[in-house]
Amino acid sequence: MTTAAIIVAAGRGTRAGGGVPKQWRPLAGRRVADWTLERFAIPQIGHVVLVLHPEDRDAWKEFAQTPLILAPGGDDRAGSVQNGLAALDGLGITKVLIHDVARPCVSKDTIRAVLDALDSHPGAAPGLAVTDALWTGAEGMVTGTRDRDGLFAAQTPQGFRYDAIVAAHAAHPGAAADDVEVARAAGLTVAIVPGDPDNLKITRAEDFARAERILRQDMDVRLGNGYDVHRFGPGDHVILCGIKVPHDRGLQGHSDADVGMHAVTDALYGALAEGDIGRHFPPSDPQWKGAASEIFLRHAVDLVRARGFTVSNIDCTLVCEYPKIGPHAIAMQREMARIMRLEATRISVKATTSERLGFTGRGEGIAALATACLVKP
Ligand code: MG
């Protein structure tokens, strides 16, 4: 793979508020930088360089665990880009995209359009034709107008043939507005591909609200529900949400009869429109007799991730008079979190009685309901 992207994230920009550089501020459930990096996770891009400020020690530690290539920021933006380019030296890169981390709403279509244009031009970047009338002004007063014909608002990612932009940066005296200016100073032609009004650069505090609206409208959100019942039989314990709870009876079932975990697993399958446990693990198949339900839950979670979703949260309600769930609820929450590889705060396990009514009220069995919410950015 010979295409790379450099995400410049070494700025200290705190103009947008929040007291930390804007790339580390939360946005629609993740950080700005996480959204931006996700946008460049496309098969055409083989390497991603993240340029980090030397003082962002937590980020260095965190991203060292990922396939990203890390590079230190320079004295100014151009220095940071040059360090990012240097980090790709020797990897056989032919095309490189340079992108501001503060543009988390860039679409994959825009990224692909820039890459495609590099097949026929040494440089390419998204630009938005200016449609508003342009004024000059001073002290709150309009002092003149400017012709907007032929004017474009520049966006990123800006793409270049790798060797050409490395040479252009080496030759440039500095203080360029962006990499297109550096490229043009070296004589490279730069094609304009259609920009996207949603590809905003987060600069001011109010930009966060707009970026959040844009990201949420693209988000694929799925809900699923699950319901399960198991009957009591002989035994001295039940297994609920992965935890062994002593009781004077056990639950009957083909597997370990973990009614709570089954409801959660079915909620996950339901959110994906993938049927239920019975479809994936037929009860007629003897290999699942007595199986730990963890196997089913893991399978559902792996399927969720394979489809590009993440589990936003789970809510599970157990319905029984006995055993009492309260003393075990936190252990159940932790065990489900471990199996699903999620923070425990995303999983709720609670219980209710049915006021001695119906089969749960008569102590004939335990019922469980679960809801799962999945999101795909
Ligand atoms: Mg079941």
Q: Answer yes or no: do 49 and 112 share one domain.
A: yes
Per-residue pLDDT at 8? 96
Q: Answer yes or no: do 170 and 230 share one domain.
A: no
* Omega cis (within 30) before 323: yes
The CA 148 to ligand 1 mean position distance, Å, reads 67
**Percentage of residues in the chain with pLDDT exceeding 90?**
84
Q: Answer yes or no: do 231 and 170 share one domain.
A: no
Q: Answer yes or no: do 142 and 233 share one domain.
A: no
In sequence order, what are the beta bridge partners of 97? 5, 159
Asked if residue 181 has pLDDT above 60, the reply is yes
pLDDT band at 20 (very low <50, low <70, confident <90, very high): confident
pLDDT band at 14 (very low <50, low <70, confident <90, very high): low
Per-residue pLDDT at 100? 97
The CA 327 to ligand 1 mean position distance, Å, reads 23
Last residue of a domain, one of 165, 189, 217: 217
Which tokens hold the place of 288?
């699942």
Q: Answer yes or no: do 55 and 185 share one domain.
A: yes
Counted domains in the chain? 2
Per-residue pLDDT at 1? 53
Asked if residue 217 has pLDDT above 90, the reply is no
Per-residue pLDDT at 119? 95
Last residue of a domain, one of 190, 217, 244: 217
* Omega cis (within 30) before 157: yes
pLDDT tens by residue, 278-292: 999 988 888 888 889
Last residue of a domain, one of 165, 199, 217: 217
pLDDT tens by residue, 234-248: 999 999 999 999 999
Q: Answer yes or no: do 212 and 224 share one domain.
A: no
The alpha helices in the chain, defined as continuous H runs, are 32-39, 57-63, 77-86, 108-117, 162-171, 179-185, 205-218, 259-271, 277-280, 294-306, 329-340, 358-361
The alpha helices in 98-178, defined as continuous H runs, are 108-117, 162-171
- Rounded to two decimals, the pTM is 0.65
The CA 376 to ligand 1 mean position distance, Å, reads 28
The CA 230 to ligand 1 mean position distance, Å, reads 6
Per-residue pLDDT at 155? 98
- The boundaries of the domain holding residue 69 are 3-217
CA distance 102 to 286: 54
The CA 261 to ligand 1 mean position distance, Å, reads 8
